[in-house]
Amino acid sequence: AAVFCFLASFSQAWGLASWLALLPCIALLQTESKGAKFIVWFSVFVATVAVYFYHFRLLKAAGSPLFFFSHPLRSAGFFVILLGTPFCQSGADISIPLAFSAGGVTLLALAACVVMLRSYHLKEVTTPWLSVALFGLFFAAMVTAGRGNGGFDAAVQSRYATGTIFVAIAVIQLGRLVCVHKGRKVYLFLLGALWSLLIVGSMAAISAAHYSKQELSHAKLFIEVLRYMDAATDSAKESVLYPLYPTEGTGNIRTSAELLNQTGFLYLASNIIFVDQPSPDYGLLESADESGDLSHLRRRKDQVTISGWATLPGSRGLPKMVLISYGDQKTFITGAVVGWVDRPDMAVLRHDPRLFHSGWTVTFPARFLPPGDGILKAWVYDSAEKKFVRLPSWDGEKRFKVETP
């Protein structure tokens, strides 16, 4: 067991919790050398922790672990939500209160099981499940210490369900023993409630996964033109690259992409020509709408929506994307995937059924634009000919003016 605990300790940080979680099982040993084995176990654990933290480096994005102690009530809420995360994978507005309720029920049920089974004679049956529960609790405590400052939204991330699900599993198994030992019918009610939450959470997770897959499939297309995307937008949630590294404020995707390009696992376009003469053969920029007034955009509040249609000349089908820039900039602030807006009018007008899916649209915040006046431009990426071709604008150039507060 110590070998596996040692390996787990250097696989993930929460692997260290396995040493403490197994202490009840070590204490259960009925041998003459029980005390010596306990001392050896604890000594190896301390040595493993020392080696681990000797090489440990705290990420800046993780924040200070002292948040755990300076905000005890908020940390306690984060801890309880973590325990309910396996049952509540849906939108944050729904997940957080449900996860808090499910986590509270799970924690209370665990405490009730431990109290009711304290006189149970088959300790060798209950103790392993107690260790399983302790592992999940220690995992939740470590996540709370390291990520509690990220807010309750961070607690309902699906990756944390991997560790906290062990608490729920232990509760179900210990509850089964309580039902056998005490004949408590309330166990069946709690089990049914947990299963109901699990089913609802799974259904919501399937929907969320479908949406996430669509976002990722769109975002990965823009990796090819990464070198031409404005780096100033990388850390924004509205960035086209955000789904690939969904941690607002970092924008670390560029470093990874360049390394993959150097090793031949990824292709990043370079030396692309800009054709600034608008060509109607490639499509049209039709509208530029806004939440306010395009000539009086509020940089911190307004959003801009641009739409149109795009194609490739010579019966070459549809382009992958349309990219948006302003003024004379040779970098793009955002982009749109071609083919996700139906345009039956263009298919009829041009007698080409492929144009039925030639539409595109994109919405971005006004803060992506610089203060002052400017002109919005849309470009088709022609990957075969390695060029960006500017689209003509319907009803004149799309001028904007961003006002600073």
* pLDDT band per the 50, 70, 90 thresholds, residue 162: confident
Beta strands in 127-210 (DSSP E): none
Q: Please tell me the pTM assigned to this model.
A: 0.63
Nearest CA among 281, 256, 308 for reference residue 387? 281
CA distance 101 to 81: 8
Percentage, residues of the chain above pLDDT 90: 31
End-to-end CA distance of the chain: 62
Q: Assign 332 to helix, strand or coil.
A: strand
**Mean per-residue pLDDT over the chain, rounded:** 83
* pLDDT band per the 50, 70, 90 thresholds, residue 404: confident
Which residues fall within 8 angstroms of residue 365, CB to CB, at 6 or more apart? 236, 238, 302, 303, 304
According to CATH, where is 2.60.40.10 located in the chain? 273-403
Nearest CA among 102, 105, 75 for reference residue 161? 102
Domain 273-403 has CATH 2.60.40.10: yes
